[in-house]
A and B are shown apart, each in its own frame.
Chain A
């Protein structure tokens, strides 16, 4: 870049060192508090801390219902991830590679859940399951989560496909490879970072989903957000802080794995 812009850049670096940490601290503040409080020996959550200890983690491991909720949330997250990524890939492939009548309409429909307030999706699915007498449970919740995640996965993958050099595929085809081989050996591997990103997105959306889940989960199962919400007449104990901290660690590990894999490419 030209000399003027270059010195500007150095100045910006100072701004960056000042501004970015503040923003990140802000965004992380609630999560950090949660982790801090999970080690607080007191049942009450305020300052100053009574003391530090692992008591809540011990209690957490003995709490069967909490684990069931966490397990359900994880299962749901993984299932949503798989389903939403597959559907998202199919759709992304379509809109990037093809032209067909009704394409705009279909794109709008698939993007729509991203732009629809959660309460509407929840309420509509509730009415739907009720009218069709479909029993609510983890299955119905999975269906809802995939609807929520689909626009994002489609978007991310399509975005990635945009920058994709079609000539590679064509070359492979000209060399006699079948469509399936082209897909498997060329398209998918090159798209992999996008697919991974989409999968992580879908997982993120599912794992923390509350509003829609509230309407569609029914009574036989419970997810973590639901368990926390119905804390009630008795009480949300700080075990939830321990659980949340563990999940944060878990997701950090996952993310770290995903990132290092990507870097290695």
Chain B
């Protein structure tokens, strides 16, 4: 019958139109990659030639799992430079979510994903990742010395995490509404009742509360949990909302729903770009420092492309762009030195190696601690 058939045709056409309407990928894939001797000079005017190390062939694509929107800026130039490495990207919004996704089926299909120094042990324990060979990364030596093998990326003598950015989780506040604040206790200040945006993740919720009640955030036994619980219960009526998604926090701060919050420094800077009164401070009691980085999945199907991609993300140009766009402190020392001085100061990388030499990290959460604290937090949120 004509009717149904033409409807089907029009739908297919519409769909084809929509699919075609999207922008085409930057460059069609080159001819099948073959191992060629390195070209010694490249014409400077032409678009960048793909660099092929003598022994490397590129597998055609690379599968990446990243924080939403975090590295999108870096993908088009990467694909231009390495047309045989098309980037397939998918997203997550919490560190544990990433690990869970890798565990649930990433081994054998995924190549690279992001993790943090607080959680990457989980990935290693669950046998989801393989060590990374830093000698295959040209830009590895450009990283801050402190980030080259260290407690935050090395296990069993091998490197598992390549630092991409670093930062802190501190106190964010709108100075016009709250005045200048210096302590975590501000979050529990009755003057700000109903105006606090509190963090919903285990580290974000635990650290400020632990420091507030006066214990070290590294104490995580049953006794510590019971000491921290009342503070978190008080926070339930103190807080307006909980954030687990960084963008939610920025929105809530910027449109005035929240006056103060616990959050990542990059988020504070993004909010400040829109509302200059929003300020970030490291409270006097202390704060959590974290390092965000890349891990290589076990049995990665596209290892060569994966190495190129990691190398690309930590390269000078990309790290500079990262600082300018995302406003998180770069892990690349050379890039940091080339930043605009104002920006470098804001990102705490204006002192060269000294900027990161004295960073203090809290001991990462073991999975038992994580389970226990997570359960306590669920109980508090459910009203007990």
Contact = CB atoms under 8 A, between A and B. Distances in A.
Q: Do chains A and B touch in the complex (CB under 8 A)?
A: yes
Nearest to A265: B3
A222 B88 CA distance: 9
Contacts of B348: none
B93 interface: yes
A161 to B, nearest CB: 17
A231 B101 contact: no
Contacts of B104: 126, 129-130, 136, 215, 218
Contact of B68 (A137, A232, A254): A232
Contact of A64 (B22, B105, B270): B22
A264 B88 CA distance: 45
Interface string A39-74: 000011110000000000000011111011011001
A233 B76 CA distance: 20
A219 B109 contact: yes
B93 A74 contact: no
A182 to B, nearest CB: 16
Contact of B7 (A62, A63, A258, A265): A258
Interface residues of B, number: 51
A126 B267 CA distance: 32
B65 A219 contact: yes
Contacts of A253: 14
B266 A230 contact: no
B72 A129 contact: no
Given A43-B274, A74-B18, A254-B11, A222 B250 contact: no
A126 B100 CA distance: 11
A26 interface: no
B127 to A, nearest CB: 14
Contacts of A46: 255
A70 B274 contact: no
A78 B15 contact: yes
B34 interface: no
Interface in B82-101: 88-93, 101
A234 B4 contact: no
A236 interface: yes
A235 interface: yes
A159 interface: no
20 contacts: A65-B89, A67-B22, A68-B22, A71-B19, A78-B15, A189-B1, A218-B101, A219-B65, A219-B101, A219-B106, A220-B88, A220-B109, A230-B69, A230-B92, A230-B93, A232-B91, A232-B246, A234-B67, A234-B68, A265-B3
Interface of B: 1, 3-4, 7, 10-11, 14-15, 18-19, 21-23, 25, 63, 65, 67-70, 72, 75-76, 88-93, 101-102, 104-106, 108-110, 113, 245-247, 250-251, 254-255, 264, 266-267, 270, 274, 326
Interface of A: 43-46, 61-65, 67-68, 70-71, 74-75, 78, 126, 129-130, 133-137, 189, 192, 196, 215, 217-222, 226-227, 229-237, 250, 253-254, 257-258, 261, 264-265
